[in-house]
Amino acid sequence: MLPRGAFAPVPTPLDERFEFDAEALRSHLAWLSSQGLDGALVLGTNGEFPSLSLTERLRVAETAAGAESGLEMMLGIGSCSLVEVLEMVEAAKSLGFESVLCPPPFYFRAAPIDGLAAFFRALLEHARLPVLLYHIPQVTGIPISDGLLETIGDHHGLAGVKDSSGNPEELERLSRRFSDGVYMVGTDRLVTACLHAGGSGSISAAASVAPALVCAAHGDESEQDRLDAVRGLLEDHGLGPAVKAILHRCGLGAYATRPPLLGLEPERADRLWEAYCELVPPGNRPSRD
């Protein structure tokens, strides 16, 4: 099955000792499903995958798959080590994930395009699952360029791309490039534009804390302004820390942030919560079963 619809890039919940909180992840996934969301990306950027060991990432993946939330599940398999990428895709297959997302090996920003293409071709030959390439050049420093795609070449396993550039021109380029495959936008502000361009759906931060609103924007473009307001609030406080602060305030778990990243200071978290409650009604806020 190819991914389609509204997905949440779920954060990885950590307790006060920075240890993975499996129950919090299960609760979050169950609530997202109850709000009508289509799917979830585990261990993406908002999942802070570079901060976790391979052993931890495998445990997060196993917990998410075992939650049986009813959501379509995508696994982020990013690493600068091809060996780890292949181990993660093996886990995705054995655990029942329906697709995987892989960024470029972000430490090697000066790697030749032939080397980057070889990295992705090795994954595609091994995967036996739909693979989405992760275009987030402002973080990785390595774009999913036309030149890279042409060097990779055609492969039945290359399903499409997740585009988190936030750039409408990149949306146009990549949605056209994958018009027969999967184009998922990674920015809440471009949900309507993505759908107008024939894209498959979104994997966007607001979906973790306001999934009903993201789903509404998928069905009614007049909801885009309301979604923009939530996205703006999260951006003002930092996407990752803001999402975690809201989930913590709603009682799902501690949602601590492992250094080098930091969570919100209590005063900022209070201001965020007040503004969030003005935008999202009580019935659409996160909660445990």
Phi, psi for 288 (deg, rounded to 5) = -75, 160
183 is catalytic: no
Q: Place 218 in a pLDDT band, splitting at 50, 70 and 90.
A: very high
The pLDDT of residue 11 = 98
Over residues 236-257, mean pLDDT? 97
Per-residue pLDDT, averaged over 107-117, amounts to 97
Domain ranges (residues) in the chain:
5-284
Q: Would you say 257 and 19 are in contact if contact means Cβ atoms under 8 Å apart?
A: no
Question: With 90 as the cut, is the pLDDT of residue 152 above it?
Answer: yes
Q: Which pair of structure tokens corresponds to residue 233?
A: 């609030």
Are 246 and 278 a contacting pair, CB within 8 Å? no
Say which of 12, 63, 134, 244 is annotated catalytic.
Answer: 134
- pLDDT tens figures, 163-182: 999 999 999 999 999 999 99
Backbone Cα Rg of the chain? 18
The CATH architecture one would assign to domain 5-284 is: Alpha-Beta Barrel (3.20)
Residue 37: its pLDDT value, please? Answer: 98
Taking all residues of the chain, what is their mean pLDDT, rounded to a whole number?
97
Distances (CA, A) of 14 to 4, 210, 248, 251, 253: 29, 21, 10, 13, 8
- Judge if the upstream peptide bond of residue 168 is cis by omega within 30 degrees of 0: no
Residue 184 CA, chain-centre distance (Å), reads: 10
- Mean pLDDT along residues 1-29: 97
Q: Which residues have CB under 8 Å from 229's CB, separation 6+?
A: 279
Chain segment 47-79, per-residue pLDDT in tens: 999 999 999 999 999 999 999 999 999 999 999
% of the chain beyond a pLDDT of 90: 99
Model confidence at 267: pLDDT above 90: yes
Q: Is the pLDDT of residue 115 over 90?
A: yes
Q: Confirm whether 134 is a catalytic residue.
A: yes
| Residue 250: closest CA among 235, 272, 228 | 272
The secondary structure of 270-289 as a DSSP string is: HHHHHHHHHHS-GGGS----
pLDDT in tens, 80-106: 999 999 999 999 999 999 999 999 999
Residue 7 has pLDDT above 90, yes or no: yes
- 239-249 helix and 224-237 helix, angle to the nearest 10 degrees: 100
| The pLDDT of residue 145 | 98
pLDDT at 288: 80
Angle at 209 between CA 237 and CA 195, to 5 degrees: 100
What's the rounded mean pLDDT across residues 212-228? 97
Q: What is the pTM of this model?
A: 0.97
Query: pLDDT confidence of 289, banded at 50, 70, 90?
Result: low
Q: Which listed residue (12, 63, 140, 162) is catalytic?
A: 162
Q: What is the pLDDT of residue 1?
A: 80
Q: How far apart are CA 176 and CA 197, in angstroms?
A: 8
Clarify whether 162 is annotated catalytic: yes
Tell me the average pLDDT across 29-34: 98
CA–CA dist 43, 61 (Å, integer) = 8
Clarify whether 107 is annotated catalytic: yes
Length of the chain, in residues: 289
Q: Given 12, 45, 187, 257, which residue is catalytic?
A: 45
Residues near 142 by beta carbon (within 8 Å), at least 6 away in sequence: 103, 104, 105, 106, 108, 109, 111, 116
